Chain A
Amino acid sequence: MLRYILIATLALIPTWIVASPAHAQTGSPQQPGTAANQKSAPAPRRDISGTWDPGNNGIQPLGPRAMPEDGKPEHQLPYTPLGLETLNAHKPSNGVRSVLPGETNDPVVYCDPQGMPREDLYELRTTQIIQTPLKVFVLYQFGKIWRVVWTDGRDLPKDPESRWFGYSIGKWEDDYTFVVQTSGTDERTWVDRAGRPHSADLRVEEKFHRVDLDTLELTVTINDPKMYTKPWVALDKLPFKLQPPNFDVREMMCSPSEFAEYNKIIGNPASGKGAQ
C-alpha cells in the first residue's frame, strides 16, 4: 500500500508549475518582445512574407486571446438563440465549460481539421507567409497545413461548396496592412478551443499589419449573424516576431494513432472509462 503524503494548498490553485523560458535547443523561436528595447528597421512596403512566431500568445487554450471564455462579463459573446444552443452542444476539454477528456466532442481533439478561423485562434504557432504575384500562402505549424489567399482581384464565390478552411481573398488596405476576407467555411468546425460556434454564413476578416521589420500584428474579426448578434474581435493585434530565414519549423501533427494511445493510457482512465 502506497503511503502518500498529501499536501493541501493554502489558498488558491497553485502556480508552482512555472517553467523558466530557457531554450534548451538552438533554433527556438525568439519570443515577441525580446527585442523590445531595440529599435527595429522600418517595415518594408507590401510585404508580410517571412517566418513569424507569436510565442505562447498563440496557443490560446481558453479561446482567442482577445475574447477568451474565462467567465468574465466583458468576454461574454452576443449569442443569438441558435448560437447559444449550438455552443451548449459543444463539449470542450479545456476551460470553464470543460468536460472530462473522454467526454469531449471537440473535433480537433480527434484530429479533424481545425479549419478557419480556428487555425488562427488555437495552437497558432510559428507561421510562414509566402507572397507570389497572384496569391499569398499562409503555412501553419499545427497540422502542417496551408491556406491560399487570392490577390488577383477575384470576389469570394457566391455559393461555394464548403471547405474546412473556406475561401480567402486579400488586398492591401495600405502599404503595411494586408486584409483577408474568408467565407465558405465548413460548419463542422468550432471557432475556437472553447467551442464557440459558427454557421456556413460565417465571414472572417484578418488584418495583417507590418509594424516594422521584425513585427507583424494580426487582428481577426468574426461576423456570423446566425450565431452572433454583432461582429466580435477574436484577436486584437496579436504580435508575431520575425524569425531568421534559416529557422526550421518543427512538426506538430495530430495523429489519430497517437491520440488513441493517449486515450488508452491517460484520457479514458482519467475519465472513468476503463483501466490502463
Chain B
Amino acid sequence: MRRNLIAVFLGVVTIGVPLFAHHGAAAYDTSKKLALKGIVTEWFWANPHCFLRFDVTDDKGNVAHWAAETSNPSDMVHLGWSKQSFKPGDEVTVTVEPVKNGLPIGRIEQVALANGQILKARVVF
C-alpha cells in the first residue's frame, strides 16, 4: 500500500538560537515536526498570516483537514512565495510544527511541491 506520509528525520539543531525563534509560539509545540503529504484545498494569501489548507489521507482512507500558517505576504514574497504558489489539487508535502492541542493546525517550516521545488518559510512572526 502506498504510503501517504513521508517521515522526515532531519532535525537541524543550531546553537545560539535567537529568542525571536519562539515568536507567537504559545500555541505551537516547538519540539515536534511533522511531514505531511496531502492535496491543497485552499491557499489564503493575506494578512495577518497566509495559510495553506490541505487534506491528508491515511492508510485507512481517513482524511484529516489540515491548516498551516506562514508569515504575512510582505514577508513571504522575499522568500519566493506568491499568491500563485499553490492551487487546489496540488500535491504537496508540508513540514509543520503542530499546535499543542492536537488539532490539525500548524505553522509551516517548508512546503515541497510535486515538481521538487521547496519553499521555505521563516518563523519570525
Contact = CB atoms under 8 A, between A and B. Distances in A.
A99 to B, nearest CB: 6
B122 A61 contact: no
Contacts of A276: 65, 67, 103-105
A67 to B, nearest CB: 14
A19 B121 contact: yes
Nearest to A62: B20
A272 B74 CA distance: 28
A269 B14 CA distance: 31
B115 interface: no
B20 to A, nearest CB: 6
Given A2-B5, A255-B47, A262-B46, A12 B72 contact: no
B: contact size bracket: 35 or more
Q: How large is the interface on A (under 10, 10 to 19, 20 to 34, 35 or more residues)?
A: 35 or more
A10 B47 contact: no
A2 B62 contact: yes
Contact of A1 (B10, B60, B103, B104): B60
A134 to B, nearest CB: 32
A5 B9 contact: yes
A98 B25 contact: yes
Contacts of A259: 47-48
Main secondary structure of the interface of B (DSSP, over half): loop
Contacts of A89: none
Chain A binding surface SS class: loop
A258 B46 contact: yes
A82 to B, nearest CB: 27
Contacts of B25: 13, 98
Contacts of B44: 261-262, 265
Contacts of B80: 22, 24
A7 B11 contact: yes
B73 A252 contact: yes
B27 A270 contact: yes
Given A1-B62, A94-B23, A23 B78 contact: yes
B116 interface: no
B20 A61 contact: yes
A21 interface: yes
Given A7-B8, A24-B80, 12 more contacts: A2-B62, A3-B58, A3-B59, A4-B34, A6-B32, A19-B122, A23-B78, A62-B19, A125-B74, A252-B73, A253-B47, A255-B46
Interface of A: 1-25, 28, 56, 59, 61-62, 70-71, 93-96, 98-101, 109, 125, 141, 250, 252-255, 258-259, 261-262, 265-266, 269-272, 275-276
Closest 3 CB pairs of A and B: A5-B7, A24-B80, A270-B27
